[in-house]
Structure 1
């Protein structure tokens, strides 16, 4: 009781990672187009994410290895191991590099919603100063290479993000019974299927599984602490889900309007609920952007470390080179407005394949007595995990089909 934050672990980073600008945008569009009726999809997403993240963290704590290193050790040598590790590298390292520009741009939109554009004229070129600022903050925090520092910073950012979006939702004065109905009773309004898939897909994130497994053994070293790790996961994922729900609830206040994303939501809410709504959305979007801008390079570095068997820690040269590459590419994309469409499409396809593959491998690993001993999955967990695997297959297929314009 003297220190209520003592048992807070990597859950804060995991929650911050899946509430990125993309999540905020999808939730905004879901609220505007369908009101409260798709809140249940977030409830489903929270349950699925808790199961998958708890499995990944259990594997990481018991083995004291990152998930990519566990895959390297447990998969039989040969084409299968090379294929899986190659897919993981392509989807997460290349994918996070492609998405990093969007993470930083999301943080920039949040700052712009507060007032200034942040555009600087340098030698005749328009440069976004905010993206450089966010990149610099991310660089400093990652270069320090101290897990405890990252944990505390992310806890503060998650609190800021949570308060910002929850206060915005409260300002709109939603009807509590309608909110509960939307969160607990599945509804399928016309044209909502793709949005439901998008809501689940933006919460169940492949790179978070690798990030969690790597970070959990930075915090805890003994199997007796599995209970603390599980509580940390459940609390963090539920908190993250509530933040996403808050965005949907806030956006539902302006149903019927043409709003393209979170920054548009801030502008639309201001005339109705005052400048406080705009500032809350702006701060929340900034926190969502900067946290994802830090966790994406961090996850990429952990994945490369395990897949390529690089060894070392947060301060090792190879580890730093990977996250620096991802971060620099992201800052360049956000600063100069570059749109690497082909790379993003490749990353979407790779992630679409990776999600069900990793979900299936997680179930396999969670049932290996040689790896987990007495901490294997129970029958109930296996049944729930198989159901989630089916959902990930649908999500993966949707991601791949959408890239090729078939959806």
Structure 2
């Protein structure tokens, strides 16, 4: 469980805090079902990606590249650009989330804080000493999650309503962007490559137990974030969210939220650029010492800094970039589905069962419907 908790920590970032709390503030319990779907979707996809590594000794990217070698590098490059685009979108939200947390703590200029956060990220990524920092900040994020658990119980929504909202889909007017955001911030495409890469040396039962417990823990924190959002008045903003914690648990609650938001953003600001570079290494066979590998993480970090130095509303940007990843999700999922069912590469006993295939297809279909719908509305808006 401790080994796999890195996956749940990876999707409890500024995107989860923002999208979940905003969903609760704007739509009450009506979007809880999205978190149920996304949490189980994460389990199904992550388990399949990790099962490939246990079965073959190759990670997900290497397996997909091998399965599509007759097409040359077309499929690996397609997936690499899709995941890297998603990582760049995440990075914009990560930088903005980290700076928003620091702004709440210090009251300093967001522009100078962005430059400072970016400079520290560049130094740490260049020297490669990021793991212990990410682990420490992950502990802070889980502590913030614990405070939200206390606040969520204080919100006291009827248990029967919560249970119903967790399983009964609803689509309130104006919620499409948030639905895509909740999916995209929970089922993180680059986590499939990352999780597959850290599976080496585990048995199938160990991996499954770890994935289920860790992802359900992350899903639980997402649910309590949404329920805590019920208490926000006057519209969702980070100061309003901090005020809710301060009122419920004392002044230290607001400080914990601010530091937790910074910790979530900063830890993710280190992992998203590396995830893009590691995906390229996995799919395209790069060396970690190559300039191509370095240019990828530098480019992803640069995108985040560009958005951080802009005057855009951080909450809106974070919601939008999570939705972008919800739209990109089917691209990665389709190739994962094909790889885990490949009879030439995956031995008997490790390929998907009928129920596992149906579960993965459900994720593809739902994300395609909502993602495609979002794109269609955006195109209509553009032409109108």
> Where does residue 294 of structure 1 map in the other structure?
270
What TM-score, normalized by structure 2, do the two folds share?
0.83
Do residues 63 (structure 1) and 63 (structure 2) align?
no
Distance 2:274 2:86 in 1: 13
- Deviation per CA, 1:239-297, whole angstroms, max 9, x where unpaired? 2111211211111123xx33244443224554566424422322332232123212211
Q: CA RMSD in A?
A: 3.4
> Where does residue 26 of structure 1 map in the other structure?
19
> Where does residue 376 of structure 1 map in the other structure?
351
> Where does residue 398 of structure 1 map in the other structure?
373
Structure 1 residue 334: Cα displacement: 1.7
What TM-score, normalized by structure 1, do the two folds share?
0.79
- 1:39 touches 1:182 (CA, 8 Å); kept in 2? no
Structure 1 residue 302: Cα displacement: 1.1
Matching residue within 199, 215, 222 for 1:237 = 215
Structure 1 residue 76: Cα displacement: 4.0
Matching residue within 176, 190, 194 for 1:207 = 190
**1:250-399 mapped onto 2 (5 Å cutoff):** 250-254=228-232, 257-267=233-243, 270=246, 274-312=250-288, 318-335=292-309, 337=311, 351=325, 354-373=328-347, 374-399=349-374
Distance 1:212 1:161, change over 3 A: farther
Count of residues in correspondence between the two structures: 377
Q: Where has structure 1 moved over 6 Å in runs of 4 or more?
A: 346-350
Distance 2:98 2:2 in 1: 25
- 1:22 touches 1:202 (CA, 8 Å); kept in 2? yes
Distance 1:353 1:229, change over 3 A: same
- 1:52 touches 1:209 (CA, 8 Å); kept in 2? yes
Distance 1:28 1:386 in 2: 29
- 1:168 touches 1:281 (CA, 8 Å); kept in 2? no
- 1:141 touches 1:150 (CA, 8 Å); kept in 2? no
Structure 1 residue 180: Cα displacement: 3.7
Structure 1 residue 197: Cα displacement: 4.2
Distance 1:405 1:309 in 2: 40
- Report SS of the residue matched to 2:345: helix
- Report SS of the residue matched to 1:202: helix
Q: Which runs of 5+ in 2 are unaligned?
A: none
Do residues 104 (structure 1) and 95 (structure 2) align?
yes
- Name which of structure 1's ranges 289-298 and 302-311 shifts more when overlaid on structure 2: 302-311
- 1:14 touches 1:208 (CA, 8 Å); kept in 2? yes
